Structure 1
Amino acid sequence: MIQIENLGKTFRTDEVETIALNHINLHVQPKEFVAIMGPSGCGKSTLLNILGLLDNPTTGLYKLDGKEVGQLKEKDRTKIRKGNIGFVFQSFNLIDEMTVYENVELPLIYLNVKSAERKKRVEAALKKMNISHRINHFPNQLSGGQQQRVAIARAVVANPKLILADEPTGNLDSKNGRDVMDLLTQLNQEGATIVMVTHSQHDASFAHRIVNLFDGSIVTEVANHL
């Protein structure tokens, strides 16, 4: 699914060069659930942005499903990202002016899915996330836990092969956090490959493998015995 070899990312300004990632080697198998951990500033989000084709690495190889994607131009990265990668963020990233239905429908509009099929998929995704009863509400009418359920529904409505989650429980209380992790685990058991950035050891315990970063490098990889 994911093959990364000697991947590096350097940010440059006129006066400063910052190495965010240094010689990263990481393989993620289909249907695997991987948690990435490490202190703030260690490169976790930078790595996730590259995996999600939001940014290019400076050096190294990134293959997604056997295709080299690390050096693609933005237009080509966007094409691959639309149908193959779903994102779940700490801040939910829902559009306030759109209803729950409209927020979840948006990825399917970008993919030019016909209206009847969009309706079927949106309703199925909301049912899976147990949030169908809020279908016509706006984000500001929902609790944090409900907003994250909607965000996950939006991430999976196009049936992506890869789900990337950046601190998905970071803005939630413990009960809603557990519910979100149960939902991600369910999606993984149904076949989704998941890579999650987290500070929470509890959340990381749901993953098959924990990858620890420090100063832009992988320092340990630990298999969880689930």
Structure 2
Amino acid sequence: MIKTENLQKVFRTDEVETWALNNITLEIKEGEFVAIMGPSGCGKSTLLNIVGLLDSPTGGKYFLNGTDVSNYKESQCTKLRKGVIGFVFQSFNLIDELNVFENIELPLLYMGFPSSERKVKVRQAMDRMQISHREKHFPQQLSGGQQQRVAIARAVVANPKLILADEPTGNLDSRNGKEVMDLLTELNNDGTSIVMVTHSQHDAEYASRIVNLFDGQLVSQVKL
């Protein structure tokens, strides 16, 4: 599903050249749950952003579902992301002015689904995340755990094949964090591929493989 060959990302200023990713070669198969770990600044989020087509590599190759997308333009990346990739962030990234139903519905609106189909899909996603009773509530009326459930529902509402999660439990207490990791595990057991950036060794142990980065380089992989 995901394959990188000597992937590079270099940030340059007038005086400094920083290698965020230095020749990363990695393959993630469909249905895997992979955790990416390493110290702050090691390139974890940079790698996730490139995998999610939110950023472009400076060098090397990136293949998504067998297609070389290394040099895709922004419009091509946007089109490919729709319906293929779902995102879950540490900060939830919900829109305060929209209620639960409307936040979850957003990806379907962008993809042009008709109203009747949007309603069905949103209700299915809410049922799956056990937040149907909150559909009229706004983000500020929800706990952190409930907000992350809404964010996950939004990520899965279009049935993407791949979920990218960046520190999904970073703003949660241990109980809510466990619930979120259990939800991600259920999605993976149903066939969704998951790539997760995390600092938490406990969270990483939910994955089937841990990829360790250090100073922009892939230093080890551990199969669980």
After TM superposition, the score normalised by the length of structure 2 is 0.99
CA distance in 2, matches of 1:108, 1:14: 42
Partner in structure 2 of residue 25 of structure 1: 25
CA distance in 1, matches of 2:154, 2:42: 29
Amino acid at match of 2:74: E
Q: Which sections of structure 2, spanning at least 5 residues, go unmatched?
A: none
Cα deviation code 1:152-186 (max 9, x no counterpart) = 00000011111000000000000000000000000
Instruction: Tell me if 1:103 matches 2:91.
Output: no
How far does residue 212 in structure 1 lie from its aligned partner after superposition?
0.3
Task: Output aligned runs, 1:1-226, within 5 Å.
Answer: 1-224=1-224
How far does residue 84 in structure 1 lie from its aligned partner after superposition?
0.5
CA distance in 1, matches of 2:185, 2:34: 11
Amino acid at match of 2:131: I
After TM superposition, the score normalised by the length of structure 1 is 0.98
**SS in structure 2 opposite 1:218?**
strand
CA distance in 1, matches of 2:102, 2:71: 33
CA distance in 1, matches of 2:65, 2:134: 36
Q: Which sections of structure 1, spanning at least 5 residues, go unmatched?
A: none
CA distance in 2, matches of 1:101, 1:69: 33
**SS in structure 2 opposite 1:153?**
helix
Amino acid at match of 1:113: F
CA distance in 2, matches of 1:17, 1:219: 21
Cα deviation code 1:123-176 (max 9, x no counterpart) = 000100011110000000000000000000000001111100000000000000
Amino acid at match of 1:218: L
CA distance in 2, matches of 1:156, 1:223: 26
Cα deviation code 1:5-50 (max 9, x no counterpart) = 1000000112211100001011000000000000000000000000
Q: RMSD across aligned C-alpha pairs, in angstroms?
A: 0.4
CA distance in 1, matches of 2:117, 2:88: 23
Whether the aligned pair in 2 keeps the contact of 1:167 and 1:197 (CA below 8 Å) is yes
Cα deviation code 1:62-118 (max 9, x no counterpart) = 000000112101000000011210000000000000000000000000000010000
CA distance in 2, matches of 1:90, 1:81: 20
CA distance in 2, matches of 1:15, 1:101: 48
CA distance in 1, matches of 2:193, 2:14: 39
Percent of aligned pairs sharing the same letter: 71
